[in-house]
Structure 1
Amino acid sequence: MGAANKWSDTAMLVIDMQKEFVDPAMSSLAFLAGGEAILPAVTQAVELARERGIFVVWVVREHDPDGRDVELFRRRFYSGGKGPAMKGSQGAEMADGLVIKEEDYKLVKTRFSSFFATNLDSVLKTSGIKNLVVVGVQTPNCVRQTVFDAVALDYEKVTVIVDATAAASPEIQMANVRDMKNIGVETPTLEDWSRQA
Protein backbone atom coordinates (compact mmCIF):
# COMPACT_ATOMS: atom_id res chain seq x y z
CA MET A 1 0.00 0.00 0.00
CA GLY A 2 1.49 3.37 -1.01
CA ALA A 3 1.90 6.31 1.32
CA ALA A 4 -0.86 8.27 -0.39
CA ASN A 5 -3.29 5.36 0.03
CA LYS A 6 -2.44 4.87 3.71
CA TRP A 7 -3.01 8.53 4.48
CA SER A 8 -5.92 9.25 2.10
CA ASP A 9 -8.48 9.04 4.91
CA THR A 10 -6.52 11.45 7.14
CA ALA A 11 -6.77 15.23 7.44
CA MET A 12 -4.47 17.64 9.25
CA LEU A 13 -6.14 20.50 11.10
CA VAL A 14 -3.82 23.50 11.45
CA ILE A 15 -5.47 25.59 14.15
CA ASP A 16 -5.10 29.37 14.56
CA MET A 17 -1.54 29.69 13.31
CA GLN A 18 -2.18 33.35 12.52
CA LYS A 19 0.02 36.36 13.11
CA GLU A 20 -2.29 37.65 15.83
CA PHE A 21 -1.54 34.60 17.96
CA VAL A 22 2.07 33.68 17.14
CA ASP A 23 3.90 36.79 15.87
CA PRO A 24 5.34 39.00 18.67
CA ALA A 25 5.65 41.92 16.23
CA MET A 26 1.85 42.22 16.29
CA SER A 27 1.95 43.27 19.99
CA SER A 28 -1.41 41.57 20.40
CA LEU A 29 -3.16 40.71 23.65
CA ALA A 30 -3.84 37.35 22.00
CA PHE A 31 -0.16 36.55 21.42
CA LEU A 32 1.04 33.19 22.74
CA ALA A 33 4.82 32.87 23.09
CA GLY A 34 4.57 29.11 22.73
CA GLY A 35 2.93 29.63 19.35
CA GLU A 36 5.96 31.42 18.01
CA ALA A 37 8.19 28.62 19.29
CA ILE A 38 6.26 25.84 17.49
CA LEU A 39 6.13 27.60 14.11
CA PRO A 40 9.03 25.53 12.66
CA ALA A 41 7.42 22.27 13.84
CA VAL A 42 4.03 23.23 12.40
CA THR A 43 5.66 24.17 9.09
CA GLN A 44 7.46 20.82 8.99
CA ALA A 45 4.29 18.91 9.93
CA VAL A 46 2.35 20.58 7.10
CA GLU A 47 5.11 19.76 4.61
CA LEU A 48 5.11 16.13 5.72
CA ALA A 49 1.32 16.00 5.52
CA ARG A 50 1.43 17.23 1.93
CA GLU A 51 4.11 14.68 1.04
CA ARG A 52 1.85 11.96 2.43
CA GLY A 53 -1.20 13.20 0.52
CA ILE A 54 -2.99 14.24 3.71
CA PHE A 55 -5.83 16.74 3.29
CA VAL A 56 -4.70 19.99 4.98
CA VAL A 57 -7.39 22.13 6.63
CA TRP A 58 -6.45 25.60 7.86
CA VAL A 59 -8.71 26.54 10.74
CA VAL A 60 -8.66 30.27 11.41
CA ARG A 61 -10.42 32.96 13.37
CA GLU A 62 -11.73 35.95 11.43
CA HIS A 63 -14.06 38.27 13.32
CA ASP A 64 -16.28 41.22 12.50
CA PRO A 65 -14.73 44.54 13.62
CA ASP A 66 -17.57 45.12 16.08
CA GLY A 67 -16.98 41.75 17.74
CA ARG A 68 -20.58 40.59 17.43
CA ASP A 69 -19.43 37.10 16.34
CA VAL A 70 -16.97 36.48 19.20
CA GLU A 71 -17.66 34.85 22.55
CA LEU A 72 -19.34 37.17 25.03
CA PHE A 73 -16.31 37.27 27.32
CA ARG A 74 -14.13 38.58 24.45
CA ARG A 75 -16.40 41.30 23.10
CA ARG A 76 -14.83 43.90 25.37
CA PHE A 77 -11.66 43.65 23.25
CA TYR A 78 -13.52 44.89 20.16
CA SER A 79 -14.28 48.57 19.79
CA GLY A 80 -13.62 51.30 17.29
CA GLY A 81 -12.92 48.75 14.57
CA LYS A 82 -10.11 47.11 16.54
CA GLY A 83 -9.80 43.63 17.98
CA PRO A 84 -7.93 40.35 17.57
CA ALA A 85 -8.06 38.53 14.22
CA MET A 86 -10.49 40.86 12.48
CA LYS A 87 -11.45 39.98 8.92
CA GLY A 88 -8.94 41.43 6.49
CA SER A 89 -6.51 42.51 9.20
CA GLN A 90 -2.81 41.75 9.24
CA GLY A 91 -3.34 39.80 12.45
CA ALA A 92 -5.75 37.41 10.72
CA GLU A 93 -3.11 36.47 8.12
CA MET A 94 -1.26 33.17 8.38
CA ALA A 95 2.07 33.29 10.22
CA ASP A 96 5.13 33.83 8.07
CA GLY A 97 6.11 30.68 6.20
CA LEU A 98 2.64 29.10 6.33
CA VAL A 99 0.83 29.13 3.00
CA ILE A 100 -2.66 27.93 2.17
CA LYS A 101 -2.44 26.11 -1.16
CA GLU A 102 -5.18 25.59 -3.72
CA GLU A 103 -5.69 21.94 -2.76
CA ASP A 104 -6.05 22.84 0.93
CA TYR A 105 -9.22 23.98 2.66
CA LYS A 106 -9.67 27.11 4.77
CA LEU A 107 -12.29 27.04 7.51
CA VAL A 108 -13.31 30.09 9.53
CA LYS A 109 -14.49 29.49 13.08
CA THR A 110 -15.72 31.88 15.73
CA ARG A 111 -15.51 29.64 18.78
CA PHE A 112 -12.90 27.35 20.35
CA SER A 113 -13.98 24.18 18.58
CA SER A 114 -13.34 23.90 14.86
CA PHE A 115 -16.58 21.89 14.66
CA PHE A 116 -18.91 24.29 16.49
CA ALA A 117 -21.33 26.01 14.05
CA THR A 118 -19.10 25.22 11.05
CA ASN A 119 -19.30 22.80 8.13
CA LEU A 120 -16.07 21.02 9.11
CA ASP A 121 -17.60 17.64 9.94
CA SER A 122 -19.48 17.64 6.63
CA VAL A 123 -16.38 18.63 4.62
CA LEU A 124 -14.31 15.92 6.28
CA LYS A 125 -16.88 13.14 6.04
CA THR A 126 -17.70 13.87 2.37
CA SER A 127 -13.95 13.81 1.68
CA GLY A 128 -13.69 10.31 3.15
CA ILE A 129 -11.79 11.46 6.23
CA LYS A 130 -11.79 9.09 9.22
CA ASN A 131 -8.62 10.20 11.02
CA LEU A 132 -7.35 13.58 12.19
CA VAL A 133 -3.94 15.01 13.00
CA VAL A 134 -4.02 18.30 14.91
CA VAL A 135 -1.37 21.02 15.19
CA GLY A 136 -1.53 24.68 16.25
CA VAL A 137 -2.60 26.85 19.17
CA GLN A 138 -3.63 26.94 21.78
CA THR A 139 -3.82 23.56 23.44
CA PRO A 140 -6.25 24.16 26.36
CA ASN A 141 -8.72 26.07 24.22
CA CYS A 142 -9.06 25.55 20.48
CA VAL A 143 -6.94 22.42 20.15
CA ARG A 144 -8.51 20.64 23.11
CA GLN A 145 -12.10 21.57 22.29
CA THR A 146 -11.64 20.51 18.66
CA VAL A 147 -10.11 17.20 19.74
CA PHE A 148 -12.84 16.43 22.26
CA ASP A 149 -15.48 17.15 19.61
CA ALA A 150 -13.64 14.96 17.09
CA VAL A 151 -13.73 12.08 19.57
CA ALA A 152 -17.44 12.72 20.24
CA LEU A 153 -18.07 12.70 16.47
CA ASP A 154 -16.43 9.26 16.22
CA TYR A 155 -13.35 10.00 14.16
CA GLU A 156 -11.48 6.71 14.28
CA LYS A 157 -8.04 8.04 15.15
CA VAL A 158 -7.29 11.49 16.54
CA THR A 159 -3.65 12.51 16.86
CA VAL A 160 -2.21 15.64 18.47
CA ILE A 161 1.44 16.32 17.64
CA VAL A 162 2.61 17.51 21.05
CA ASP A 163 5.56 19.63 19.94
CA ALA A 164 3.55 21.22 17.13
CA THR A 165 0.93 22.47 19.60
CA ALA A 166 1.40 24.99 22.40
CA ALA A 167 -0.08 26.46 25.55
CA ALA A 168 0.86 29.36 27.82
CA SER A 169 3.27 27.17 29.78
CA PRO A 170 4.76 23.66 29.59
CA GLU A 171 2.71 22.67 32.66
CA ILE A 172 -0.57 23.69 31.01
CA GLN A 173 0.48 21.93 27.81
CA MET A 174 1.25 18.66 29.55
CA ALA A 175 -1.89 18.70 31.72
CA ASN A 176 -4.04 19.07 28.61
CA VAL A 177 -2.07 16.46 26.68
CA ARG A 178 -2.66 14.05 29.57
CA ASP A 179 -6.42 14.76 29.46
CA MET A 180 -6.51 14.12 25.70
CA LYS A 181 -4.54 10.87 26.09
CA ASN A 182 -7.13 9.77 28.65
CA ILE A 183 -9.86 9.90 25.99
CA GLY A 184 -7.85 7.85 23.50
CA VAL A 185 -6.01 10.57 21.57
CA GLU A 186 -2.55 9.69 20.27
CA THR A 187 0.11 12.22 21.30
CA PRO A 188 3.37 11.65 19.43
CA THR A 189 6.18 14.13 18.93
CA LEU A 190 6.71 15.34 15.38
CA GLU A 191 9.74 13.07 15.08
CA ASP A 192 7.73 10.03 16.16
CA TRP A 193 4.86 10.93 13.83
CA SER A 194 7.26 11.41 10.93
CA ARG A 195 8.51 7.84 11.43
CA GLN A 196 5.06 6.35 11.01
CA ALA A 197 5.07 4.65 7.63
Structure 2
Amino acid sequence: MALVDADSVREHRGSFLALGVALMVLGFIALLMPAIATLVSAVAIGCLLALSGLLQGIHAIRSRRWAGAGWSLASALVQLVAGVLIVAFPVTGKLTLTLILAALFFAEGLLWIVRAIQHREMPAWGWLLFDGIVTLALGALILWGWPSTAVWAIGLLVGVDLLLGGSSMLLIGIAARPVAGVRA
Protein backbone atom coordinates (compact mmCIF):
# COMPACT_ATOMS: atom_id res chain seq x y z
CA MET A 1 0.00 0.00 0.00
CA ALA A 2 1.60 3.25 -1.18
CA LEU A 3 1.96 6.15 1.22
CA VAL A 4 0.56 9.53 0.28
CA ASP A 5 3.19 12.09 -0.70
CA ALA A 6 3.08 15.00 1.77
CA ASP A 7 3.92 17.47 -1.01
CA SER A 8 0.81 16.47 -2.98
CA VAL A 9 -1.32 17.11 0.11
CA ARG A 10 0.37 20.52 0.60
CA GLU A 11 -0.32 21.38 -3.06
CA HIS A 12 -4.04 20.85 -2.54
CA ARG A 13 -4.21 22.09 1.05
CA GLY A 14 -7.02 24.52 0.24
CA SER A 15 -9.17 21.69 -1.11
CA PHE A 16 -8.69 19.70 2.10
CA LEU A 17 -9.62 22.74 4.19
CA ALA A 18 -12.68 23.60 2.06
CA LEU A 19 -13.92 20.01 2.00
CA GLY A 20 -13.45 19.75 5.76
CA VAL A 21 -15.47 22.90 6.46
CA ALA A 22 -18.24 21.93 4.01
CA LEU A 23 -18.62 18.44 5.47
CA MET A 24 -18.66 19.83 9.01
CA VAL A 25 -21.43 22.33 8.16
CA LEU A 26 -23.54 19.58 6.56
CA GLY A 27 -22.88 17.38 9.59
CA PHE A 28 -24.06 20.06 12.04
CA ILE A 29 -27.24 20.59 10.02
CA ALA A 30 -28.00 16.86 10.11
CA LEU A 31 -27.26 16.71 13.86
CA LEU A 32 -29.63 19.57 14.60
CA MET A 33 -32.49 17.93 12.69
CA PRO A 34 -31.97 14.14 12.71
CA ALA A 35 -35.60 13.17 12.01
CA ILE A 36 -35.82 15.58 9.06
CA ALA A 37 -32.37 14.53 7.82
CA THR A 38 -33.52 10.90 8.00
CA LEU A 39 -36.60 11.60 5.86
CA VAL A 40 -34.62 13.72 3.39
CA SER A 41 -32.00 10.96 3.12
CA ALA A 42 -34.68 8.34 2.52
CA VAL A 43 -36.35 10.41 -0.19
CA ALA A 44 -33.00 11.22 -1.83
CA ILE A 45 -32.00 7.55 -1.88
CA GLY A 46 -35.41 6.66 -3.31
CA CYS A 47 -35.00 9.24 -6.07
CA LEU A 48 -31.52 7.93 -6.90
CA LEU A 49 -32.80 4.35 -7.09
CA ALA A 50 -35.72 5.38 -9.31
CA LEU A 51 -33.43 7.37 -11.61
CA SER A 52 -30.96 4.50 -11.74
CA GLY A 53 -33.76 2.10 -12.66
CA LEU A 54 -35.05 4.46 -15.32
CA LEU A 55 -31.63 4.86 -16.91
CA GLN A 56 -30.91 1.14 -16.77
CA GLY A 57 -34.33 0.45 -18.32
CA ILE A 58 -33.67 2.87 -21.18
CA HIS A 59 -30.32 1.18 -21.76
CA ALA A 60 -31.92 -2.29 -21.76
CA ILE A 61 -34.59 -1.23 -24.25
CA ARG A 62 -32.06 0.46 -26.54
CA SER A 63 -29.78 -2.61 -26.33
CA ARG A 64 -32.54 -5.21 -26.63
CA ARG A 65 -30.49 -7.40 -29.00
CA TRP A 66 -27.91 -7.82 -26.22
CA ALA A 67 -28.30 -11.24 -24.54
CA GLY A 68 -28.44 -9.66 -21.08
CA ALA A 69 -31.07 -7.06 -21.97
CA GLY A 70 -33.93 -9.01 -20.40
CA TRP A 71 -32.16 -9.36 -17.07
CA SER A 72 -31.07 -5.74 -17.23
CA LEU A 73 -34.67 -4.66 -17.80
CA ALA A 74 -35.85 -6.82 -14.89
CA SER A 75 -33.20 -5.28 -12.65
CA ALA A 76 -34.19 -1.82 -13.84
CA LEU A 77 -37.83 -2.46 -12.93
CA VAL A 78 -36.85 -3.66 -9.45
CA GLN A 79 -34.76 -0.52 -8.88
CA LEU A 80 -37.47 1.75 -10.26
CA VAL A 81 -40.21 0.19 -8.12
CA ALA A 82 -38.01 0.21 -5.00
CA GLY A 83 -37.14 3.87 -5.54
CA VAL A 84 -40.73 4.90 -6.12
CA LEU A 85 -41.89 2.97 -3.03
CA ILE A 86 -39.23 4.60 -0.85
CA VAL A 87 -40.20 8.06 -2.11
CA ALA A 88 -43.92 7.29 -1.63
CA PHE A 89 -43.44 5.70 1.81
CA PRO A 90 -40.22 7.15 3.27
CA VAL A 91 -41.12 6.26 6.86
CA THR A 92 -41.50 2.57 5.97
CA GLY A 93 -38.40 2.70 3.79
CA LYS A 94 -36.35 3.94 6.75
CA LEU A 95 -36.33 0.46 8.30
CA THR A 96 -34.61 -1.09 5.31
CA LEU A 97 -32.43 1.94 4.74
CA THR A 98 -31.30 1.78 8.35
CA LEU A 99 -29.92 -1.72 7.78
CA ILE A 100 -28.27 -0.59 4.55
CA LEU A 101 -26.75 2.36 6.42
CA ALA A 102 -25.23 -0.03 8.96
CA ALA A 103 -23.52 -1.93 6.12
CA LEU A 104 -22.37 1.37 4.58
CA PHE A 105 -20.79 2.51 7.84
CA PHE A 106 -18.97 -0.79 8.28
CA ALA A 107 -17.51 -0.55 4.76
CA GLU A 108 -16.75 3.16 5.06
CA GLY A 109 -15.07 2.63 8.42
CA LEU A 110 -12.78 0.01 6.92
CA LEU A 111 -11.92 2.35 4.03
CA TRP A 112 -11.10 5.23 6.40
CA ILE A 113 -8.79 2.88 8.33
CA VAL A 114 -7.00 1.94 5.08
CA ARG A 115 -6.66 5.65 4.24
CA ALA A 116 -5.25 6.27 7.72
CA ILE A 117 -2.60 3.61 7.17
CA GLN A 118 -1.69 5.20 3.83
CA HIS A 119 -1.37 8.61 5.50
CA ARG A 120 0.56 7.35 8.56
CA GLU A 121 3.50 9.63 7.86
CA MET A 122 1.26 12.72 7.93
CA PRO A 123 1.07 14.45 11.33
CA ALA A 124 -2.74 14.16 11.63
CA TRP A 125 -3.15 10.61 10.30
CA GLY A 126 -4.54 9.47 13.64
CA TRP A 127 -7.71 11.46 12.97
CA LEU A 128 -8.38 9.35 9.89
CA LEU A 129 -7.90 6.22 12.00
CA PHE A 130 -10.18 7.63 14.70
CA ASP A 131 -12.79 8.43 12.05
CA GLY A 132 -12.64 4.85 10.73
CA ILE A 133 -13.03 3.31 14.17
CA VAL A 134 -15.94 5.60 15.10
CA THR A 135 -17.64 4.92 11.76
CA LEU A 136 -17.40 1.17 12.38
CA ALA A 137 -18.89 1.72 15.84
CA LEU A 138 -21.76 3.72 14.33
CA GLY A 139 -22.63 0.73 12.15
CA ALA A 140 -22.73 -1.49 15.25
CA LEU A 141 -24.89 1.06 17.10
CA ILE A 142 -27.48 1.03 14.33
CA LEU A 143 -27.77 -2.76 14.35
CA TRP A 144 -27.88 -2.95 18.13
CA GLY A 145 -30.98 -0.74 18.46
CA TRP A 146 -32.80 -1.70 15.26
CA PRO A 147 -35.73 -1.21 14.44
CA SER A 148 -36.26 1.68 16.87
CA THR A 149 -33.11 3.39 15.59
CA ALA A 150 -34.79 3.90 12.19
CA VAL A 151 -36.56 7.07 13.41
CA TRP A 152 -33.38 9.03 14.06
CA ALA A 153 -30.40 6.93 13.03
CA ILE A 154 -29.95 7.90 9.42
CA GLY A 155 -29.99 11.65 10.03
CA LEU A 156 -28.02 11.62 13.27
CA LEU A 157 -25.40 9.12 12.20
CA VAL A 158 -24.89 10.64 8.79
CA GLY A 159 -24.42 13.96 10.61
CA VAL A 160 -21.80 12.48 12.94
CA ASP A 161 -20.06 10.78 10.03
CA LEU A 162 -19.98 14.03 8.01
CA LEU A 163 -18.74 15.95 11.04
CA LEU A 164 -15.91 13.48 11.67
CA GLY A 165 -15.01 13.21 7.99
CA GLY A 166 -14.92 16.99 7.74
CA SER A 167 -12.81 17.25 10.87
CA SER A 168 -10.26 14.77 9.60
CA MET A 169 -9.99 16.51 6.20
CA LEU A 170 -9.70 19.90 7.91
CA LEU A 171 -6.98 18.62 10.25
CA ILE A 172 -5.08 16.98 7.37
CA GLY A 173 -5.23 20.34 5.55
CA ILE A 174 -4.08 22.27 8.61
CA ALA A 175 -1.22 19.82 9.18
CA ALA A 176 -0.10 20.21 5.55
CA ARG A 177 0.94 23.83 5.94
CA PRO A 178 4.08 24.74 4.01
CA VAL A 179 7.39 23.71 5.53
CA ALA A 180 9.12 26.64 7.27
CA GLY A 181 11.79 28.30 5.14
CA VAL A 182 10.55 26.72 1.90
CA ARG A 183 8.69 28.95 -0.55
CA ALA A 184 5.83 27.43 -2.47
Q: What is the TM-score when the length of structure 2 is the normalising length?
A: 0.22
Greater relative contact order (CA < 8 Å, ≥ 6 in sequence): 2
Instruction: Give the helix-richer structure, 1 or 2.
Output: 2
Larger radius of gyration: 2
